[in-house]
Structure 1
């Protein structure tokens, strides 16, 4: 959705551990798995300035997805 008319596959880890700060500036760590890990890695990529087209492994035609 961030790149109009471009669809593709991106592999993200199924498990991640990250360190962050809360609103008070206190550090904490969290380990996530499954969809939570994939979403966190996706959002972190935005913070790093990465776009979908920078990490896509294979572009696909949306019409091909509808036939599957």
Structure 2
């Protein structure tokens, strides 16, 4: 168990495309454990490997329904639309309005190497899309149709 440093906006690694995981070995499993520890320590609901400087297609998510670890995730179906506020551990103190699908079906490998197909709605779907964007070098602010100022954020509290 180790906490990794979260890379912040401006770090070039956040803008690079991640590589697929070819083999699940002890290094990958340790990386995933570190990602989970880091995500929880930072009070996040999701974390992508590039956010800790590793260009691998791995994300961890926990929106309150339990931990999900996804290796090589890929959205295979989406529908509907939701518009809501997003933030990001790599962009602390910021928030913006982003349109995302209301529903996604995502295919990924779990830590045992099994292929899983999961359905996600609402916040879970938003989080899946947000984290997969990280794997492609996309930050939520790139998709935001409105970014909030610090003053606006303070007034929302």
TM-score (norm 1): 0.73
Does residue 41 in structure 1 map to residue 41 in structure 2? no
Cα gap change, 1:17/1:64 in structure 2, threshold over 3 Å: closer, same or farther? same
1:22 to 107, 110, 115: 110
Secondary structure of 1:11's counterpart equals strand
Query: Could you tell me how far 1:65 is from its partner in structure 2?
Result: 4.0
Q: Does structure 1 retain, via aligned residues, the 8 Å contact 2:95–2:153? A: no
Query: Could you tell me how far 1:59 is from its partner in structure 2?
Result: 2.2
Q: Does structure 2 retain, via aligned residues, the 8 Å contact 1:16–1:37? A: yes
Query: Could you tell me how far 1:6 is from its partner in structure 2?
Result: 4.7
Cα gap change, 1:5/1:21 in structure 2, threshold over 3 Å: closer, same or farther? closer
Secondary structure of 2:99's counterpart equals coil
Cα gap change, 1:6/1:34 in structure 2, threshold over 3 Å: closer, same or farther? closer
Determine which structure has greater relative contact order: mean sequence separation of CA pairs < 8 Å that are 6+ residues apart, divided by chain length.
1
Match of 2:120 in 1: 32
Return structure 1 stretches of 4+ with deviation > 2 angstroms: 1-8, 64-68
Which structure 1 residue ranges, 5 or more long, are not aligned?
none
Match of 2:71 in 1: none
How many equivalent residue pairs? 68
Query: Could you tell me how far 1:62 is from its partner in structure 2?
Result: 2.7
Root-mean-square deviation over aligned CA pairs: 2.1
Match of 2:54 in 1: none
